Protein backbone atom coordinates (compact mmCIF):
# COMPACT_ATOMS: atom_id res chain seq x y z
CA UNK A 1 0.00 0.00 0.00
CA UNK A 2 1.60 3.27 -1.01
CA UNK A 3 1.61 6.50 0.92
CA UNK A 4 -0.74 8.23 -1.52
CA UNK A 5 -3.40 5.58 -1.02
CA UNK A 6 -3.11 5.69 2.76
CA UNK A 7 -3.37 9.47 2.62
CA UNK A 8 -6.48 9.19 0.45
CA UNK A 9 -8.11 6.70 2.80
CA UNK A 10 -7.40 8.90 5.80
CA UNK A 11 -9.04 11.85 4.09
CA UNK A 12 -12.08 9.75 3.16
CA UNK A 13 -12.44 8.41 6.68
CA UNK A 14 -12.13 11.80 8.30
CA UNK A 15 -14.65 13.21 5.84
CA UNK A 16 -17.09 10.44 6.66
CA UNK A 17 -16.87 11.11 10.37
CA UNK A 18 -16.69 14.89 10.09
CA UNK A 19 -19.85 15.17 8.00
CA UNK A 20 -22.90 14.35 10.06
CA UNK A 21 -26.06 13.65 8.13
CA UNK A 22 -27.97 16.86 7.76
CA UNK A 23 -31.68 16.83 8.17
CA UNK A 24 -32.21 19.70 5.76
CA UNK A 25 -32.41 19.25 2.02
CA UNK A 26 -29.30 21.24 1.15
CA UNK A 27 -26.33 19.03 1.87
CA UNK A 28 -23.47 18.85 -0.63
CA UNK A 29 -22.26 15.71 1.15
CA UNK A 30 -25.55 13.91 0.48
CA UNK A 31 -25.69 15.27 -3.09
CA UNK A 32 -22.28 13.75 -3.79
CA UNK A 33 -23.16 10.50 -2.10
CA UNK A 34 -26.40 10.24 -4.09
CA UNK A 35 -24.55 10.81 -7.36
CA UNK A 36 -22.05 8.05 -6.49
CA UNK A 37 -24.84 5.62 -5.59
CA UNK A 38 -26.69 6.31 -8.83
CA UNK A 39 -23.54 5.79 -10.91
CA UNK A 40 -22.88 2.47 -9.16
CA UNK A 41 -26.42 1.04 -8.91
CA UNK A 42 -27.68 1.27 -12.50
CA UNK A 43 -26.60 -1.02 -15.32
CA UNK A 44 -27.03 -1.52 -19.07
CA UNK A 45 -30.23 -3.20 -20.15
CA UNK A 46 -31.18 -3.51 -23.81
CA UNK A 47 -30.77 -0.15 -25.52
CA UNK A 48 -30.78 1.71 -22.17
CA UNK A 49 -27.09 1.98 -21.31
CA UNK A 50 -25.78 2.81 -17.85
CA UNK A 51 -24.34 6.14 -19.01
CA UNK A 52 -27.88 7.50 -19.35
CA UNK A 53 -27.68 8.44 -15.67
CA UNK A 54 -24.99 11.02 -16.49
CA UNK A 55 -26.65 14.42 -16.31
CA UNK A 56 -26.17 17.49 -18.45
CA UNK A 57 -26.14 20.98 -16.94
CA UNK A 58 -29.90 21.40 -17.32
CA UNK A 59 -30.71 18.05 -15.72
CA UNK A 60 -28.47 18.87 -12.76
CA UNK A 61 -30.17 22.24 -12.21
CA UNK A 62 -33.68 20.86 -12.69
CA UNK A 63 -33.05 18.00 -10.21
CA UNK A 64 -32.39 20.67 -7.62
CA UNK A 65 -34.88 23.39 -8.52
CA UNK A 66 -38.31 23.68 -10.14
CA UNK A 67 -39.62 26.43 -12.38
CA UNK A 68 -42.75 24.74 -13.71
CA UNK A 69 -44.93 24.03 -10.69
CA UNK A 70 -48.48 25.31 -11.16
CA UNK A 71 -48.87 25.76 -7.39
CA UNK A 72 -46.11 28.38 -7.37
CA UNK A 73 -43.58 26.38 -5.34
CA UNK A 74 -40.86 27.29 -7.83
CA UNK A 75 -37.45 27.92 -6.34
CA UNK A 76 -35.11 28.22 -9.34
CA UNK A 77 -33.19 31.50 -9.21
CA UNK A 78 -34.24 33.66 -12.15
CA UNK A 79 -30.68 34.15 -13.40
CA UNK A 80 -30.18 30.37 -13.59
CA UNK A 81 -33.46 29.98 -15.46
CA UNK A 82 -32.69 32.67 -18.04
CA UNK A 83 -29.16 31.33 -18.57
CA UNK A 84 -30.37 27.74 -19.10
CA UNK A 85 -33.15 28.79 -21.47
CA UNK A 86 -30.76 30.87 -23.60
CA UNK A 87 -28.46 27.89 -24.03
CA UNK A 88 -31.33 25.54 -24.89
CA UNK A 89 -32.68 27.99 -27.47
CA UNK A 90 -29.34 27.82 -29.27
CA UNK A 91 -29.71 24.05 -29.65
CA UNK A 92 -32.87 24.38 -31.75
CA UNK A 93 -32.22 23.69 -35.41
CA UNK A 94 -34.88 25.61 -37.31
CA UNK A 95 -36.01 24.13 -40.67
CA UNK A 96 -33.70 25.31 -43.47
CA UNK A 97 -36.65 25.73 -45.85
CA UNK A 98 -38.52 27.96 -43.41
CA UNK A 99 -41.51 25.61 -43.49
CA UNK A 100 -42.72 24.32 -40.11
CA UNK A 101 -45.70 22.26 -41.18
CA UNK A 102 -45.94 18.61 -42.31
CA UNK A 103 -48.78 16.09 -42.46
CA UNK A 104 -51.27 16.23 -39.56
CA UNK A 105 -52.45 12.64 -40.10
CA UNK A 106 -48.91 11.33 -39.67
CA UNK A 107 -48.68 13.66 -36.66
CA UNK A 108 -51.81 12.16 -35.08
CA UNK A 109 -50.37 8.62 -35.43
CA UNK A 110 -47.13 9.78 -33.86
CA UNK A 111 -49.01 11.57 -31.04
CA UNK A 112 -50.85 8.34 -30.16
CA UNK A 113 -47.69 6.28 -29.85
CA UNK A 114 -46.06 6.06 -26.41
CA UNK A 115 -43.25 3.84 -27.64
CA UNK A 116 -39.57 4.52 -27.65
CA UNK A 117 -36.22 4.40 -25.88
CA UNK A 118 -37.10 2.14 -22.93
CA UNK A 119 -34.97 -0.94 -22.33
CA UNK A 120 -37.81 -3.07 -23.73
CA UNK A 121 -37.85 -1.12 -27.03
CA UNK A 122 -35.67 -2.11 -29.98
CA UNK A 123 -32.97 0.18 -31.34
CA UNK A 124 -34.48 0.15 -34.84
CA UNK A 125 -38.02 0.95 -33.65
CA UNK A 126 -38.67 4.66 -34.06
CA UNK A 127 -39.90 6.50 -30.96
CA UNK A 128 -43.44 7.83 -30.81
CA UNK A 129 -44.38 11.36 -29.78
CA UNK A 130 -45.97 10.28 -26.46
CA UNK A 131 -48.23 13.33 -26.80
CA UNK A 132 -51.53 11.83 -25.57
CA UNK A 133 -49.76 10.46 -22.51
CA UNK A 134 -49.77 14.00 -21.10
CA UNK A 135 -51.93 16.27 -23.33
CA UNK A 136 -55.49 16.46 -24.57
CA UNK A 137 -55.34 16.80 -28.36
CA UNK A 138 -58.78 15.74 -29.52
CA UNK A 139 -62.28 16.04 -28.15
CA UNK A 140 -62.91 12.47 -29.35
CA UNK A 141 -59.96 10.76 -27.65
CA UNK A 142 -60.91 10.26 -24.00
CA UNK A 143 -57.69 8.49 -22.98
CA UNK A 144 -55.48 11.54 -22.63
CA UNK A 145 -53.13 12.47 -19.82
CA UNK A 146 -53.13 15.68 -17.80
CA UNK A 147 -49.49 16.22 -16.82
CA UNK A 148 -49.28 18.82 -19.61
CA UNK A 149 -51.90 21.43 -20.58
CA UNK A 150 -54.78 20.65 -22.95
CA UNK A 151 -53.80 21.62 -26.49
CA UNK A 152 -57.34 21.74 -27.86
CA UNK A 153 -57.82 24.65 -30.32
CA UNK A 154 -54.08 25.33 -30.31
CA UNK A 155 -54.18 27.15 -33.66
CA UNK A 156 -56.63 29.75 -32.36
CA UNK A 157 -54.78 30.48 -29.16
CA UNK A 158 -51.30 31.56 -30.08
CA UNK A 159 -51.30 34.72 -32.19
CA UNK A 160 -50.67 34.87 -35.91
CA UNK A 161 -50.28 31.74 -38.00
CA UNK A 162 -46.53 32.12 -38.50
CA UNK A 163 -45.92 32.92 -34.84
CA UNK A 164 -47.94 29.90 -33.77
CA UNK A 165 -46.15 27.53 -36.12
CA UNK A 166 -42.75 28.73 -35.00
CA UNK A 167 -43.77 28.53 -31.36
CA UNK A 168 -45.11 24.97 -31.78
CA UNK A 169 -41.95 23.82 -33.61
CA UNK A 170 -39.69 25.35 -30.97
CA UNK A 171 -41.65 23.87 -28.06
CA UNK A 172 -41.56 20.36 -29.51
CA UNK A 173 -37.92 20.62 -30.59
CA UNK A 174 -36.78 21.90 -27.20
CA UNK A 175 -39.38 23.05 -24.69
CA UNK A 176 -36.60 23.89 -22.24
CA UNK A 177 -35.78 26.98 -24.31
CA UNK A 178 -39.05 28.39 -22.94
CA UNK A 179 -39.52 26.65 -19.57
CA UNK A 180 -36.16 25.43 -18.28
CA UNK A 181 -37.47 22.59 -16.11
CA UNK A 182 -40.60 21.61 -18.03
CA UNK A 183 -41.61 17.97 -17.60
CA UNK A 184 -41.67 17.55 -21.39
CA UNK A 185 -38.77 15.88 -23.21
CA UNK A 186 -36.58 17.81 -25.68
CA UNK A 187 -37.74 15.85 -28.71
CA UNK A 188 -35.46 17.51 -31.28
CA UNK A 189 -32.39 18.36 -29.24
CA UNK A 190 -32.21 14.87 -27.69
CA UNK A 191 -32.68 13.14 -31.07
CA UNK A 192 -36.00 11.50 -30.15
CA UNK A 193 -37.89 12.78 -33.21
CA UNK A 194 -36.67 13.92 -36.63
CA UNK A 195 -37.30 17.34 -38.15
CA UNK A 196 -39.92 15.80 -40.47
CA UNK A 197 -41.72 14.17 -37.53
CA UNK A 198 -41.74 17.42 -35.57
CA UNK A 199 -43.27 19.15 -38.61
CA UNK A 200 -46.00 16.48 -38.66
CA UNK A 201 -46.75 17.29 -35.01
CA UNK A 202 -46.82 21.03 -35.77
CA UNK A 203 -49.37 20.22 -38.48
CA UNK A 204 -51.44 18.29 -35.93
CA UNK A 205 -51.49 21.41 -33.73
CA UNK A 206 -52.11 23.90 -36.56
CA UNK A 207 -54.19 22.29 -39.32
CA UNK A 208 -57.86 23.35 -39.22
CA UNK A 209 -58.80 19.77 -40.21
CA UNK A 210 -56.85 18.14 -37.38
CA UNK A 211 -58.74 16.84 -34.29
CA UNK A 212 -56.93 19.49 -32.23
CA UNK A 213 -58.86 22.29 -33.95
CA UNK A 214 -62.11 20.52 -34.85
Footprint of another protein on this chain (CB under 8 A)? 20-23, 25, 27, 30-31, 33-34, 37-38, 40-45, 48-55, 58-59, 62-64, 69-70, 114, 117-120, 132-134, 142-147, 176, 183, 185-186, 190-192
Find the shortest distance in angstroms from Cβ 169 to another protein: 19
For another protein, the closer of residues 101 and 117 by Cβ is 117
Distance between CA atoms of residues 74 and 51, nearest Å: 29
Q: Beta-carbon neighbour count of residue 127 at 10 Å? A: 21
Find the shortest distance in angstroms from Cβ 117 to another protein: 5
Find the shortest distance in angstroms from Cβ 183 to another protein: 5
Count of CA atoms in the C-beta half-sphere (13 A) of 49: 3
Find the shortest distance in angstroms from Cβ 36 to another protein: 10
What interhelical angle do 161-174 and 78-90 show, nearest 10? Answer: 100
Phi/psi at 48 (5° precision): -90, 95
For another protein, the closer of residues 121 and 195 by Cβ is 121
Output the CA angle 115-113-155, nearest 5 degrees: 135
For another protein, the closer of residues 6 and 37 by Cβ is 37
| Structure letter (DSSP) for residue 11 | H
For another protein, the closer of residues 117 and 203 by Cβ is 117
Amino acid sequence: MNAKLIFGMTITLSLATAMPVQADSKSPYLDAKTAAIIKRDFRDKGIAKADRVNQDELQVACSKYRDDMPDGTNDMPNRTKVNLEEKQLKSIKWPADGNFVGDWKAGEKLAQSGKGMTWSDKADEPAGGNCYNCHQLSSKEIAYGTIGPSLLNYAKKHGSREESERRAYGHIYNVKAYIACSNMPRFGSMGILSEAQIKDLVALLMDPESPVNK
